[in-house]
Chain A
Amino acid sequence: MIKKKGRLRRQLVVMGSAFGSTGDLARGLWKGGSDRKLMVPLAIFLCATGLLLVLAAGVEALAPFIYSIF
């Protein structure tokens, strides 16, 4: 039996693991030659934006307010 978690709790778990995933991407790009190395700052910045998207998806009802804070 799979234990069901609430949407917000699930999204917080996702956000918690996002740092490791971003690290995976940055490491991969860094090892991928000079063309890819250049993309590392952009990729990290976009992943940070992604955290905002994940948070907004977790609290649908408050999503517009979360965006407006930023």
Chain B
Amino acid sequence: MSAWLNPIQRWVWSDPVRRGYRLLRFAEVEADGGRDLARAAELTPDPKLRRLYLRHAADEQRHSDMFRRRGAALLRESARRGAGWQPDWLAPGERGLDDVEVEEGRDGPLLAFLHLSEAAAARSFAVYHQAVGADAETREVFARILKDENFHMSYTRHELGRVAPQKQGWLLWKARLGRLWKGYLRFAVALAGVMGAILLTLQYFILLPVFALGAKRAAKREPEGWAPARDKRDLKGQY
């Protein structure tokens, strides 16, 4: 996947303004990830996991700050303004497209999920690290974050072995299948969204013109300013 994405990534990261906005988007995603981990720390009954989740959350917040600072600097350095087209799906960042399900008493599945998403993020960031080319400062940001990702990958795997020694393999497979299923659901919902939008747009142009004429005429007859309040109606009605 990364191999064929490389040329696209190089194009995506080649423009400093696009790069800047992309990093600012990453900053938001990392901050969101940090909040999810803080939530996990608040809910876990396991003291060691709480400490690790909190540390992980602090790392995510630090990553967010690094991305934000670098993104803002890139935009400041560039005379051009405006984000232009932003192909978000190409570079979602860490867990950018994954929903973390943080629930009380479910550390095993969460650790399995985190382990896989940290691994995916590390792969993506390695690609971006290469793709930014001569921009040494952005490369450095990715390099520093990659080091943290390695720690996150290893602690989540280690802790998964501790909290679910018998079921760790199954949990990892379940998390993999869960990621696949969620990926399909995202695709299905997006496709359905497009189909729904087409259906409604067709209705708009086929059905609405006649009614729009009437509505526009009625709007012209409406007086400006204060209107009398509606009559009091029974609370059982929805209109």
Give the total number of A-B pairs whose CB atoms are below 8 A apart: 56
A63 interface residue per 8 A CB criterion = yes
Closest to A30 in B: B239
Interface residues of B in 201-239 (CB under 8 A from A): 203, 207-208, 211, 214-215, 217-218, 237-239
Question: Which of B189, B191, B192 gathers the greatest number of chain A CB atoms within 10 Å?
Answer: B192
Q: Is B239's CB under 8 angstroms from A24's CB?
A: yes
Q: How far is the CA of A45 from the CA of B37 in the complex (A)?
A: 46
Q: Which range holds the interface residue count of chain A?
A: 20 to 34
| B195 near A67: Cβ-Cβ < 8 Å | yes
Residues of A within 8 A of B192 (CB): 56, 60, 63-64, 66-67
CB-CB under 8 A for A70 and B199, given A42-B211, A64-B191, A64-B192:
yes
Q: A64-B188, A64-B191 are in contact. Are A46 and B203 (CB under 8 A)?
A: yes
| B174-205 at interface with A (beta carbon < 8 Å) | 184-185, 188-189, 191-192, 195-196, 199-200, 203
Q: Are B237 and A67 in contact (CB under 8 A)?
A: no
A24 to B91, CA, bound (A): 47
Assembled-state Cα–Cα distance A50/B70 (Å)? 45
25 A-B pairs whose Cβ atoms sit less than 8 Å apart in the complex = A25-B238, A27-B239, A28-B237, A29-B239, A35-B217, A38-B211, A38-B214, A39-B215, A42-B207, A42-B208, A46-B203, A49-B200, A49-B203, A56-B192, A61-B185, A63-B188, A63-B189, A63-B191, A63-B192, A64-B192, A64-B195, A66-B192, A67-B192, A67-B195, A67-B196
B residues touching A (Cβ–Cβ < 8 Å)?
Answer: 184-185, 188-189, 191-192, 195-196, 199-200, 203, 207-208, 211, 214-215, 217-218, 237-239
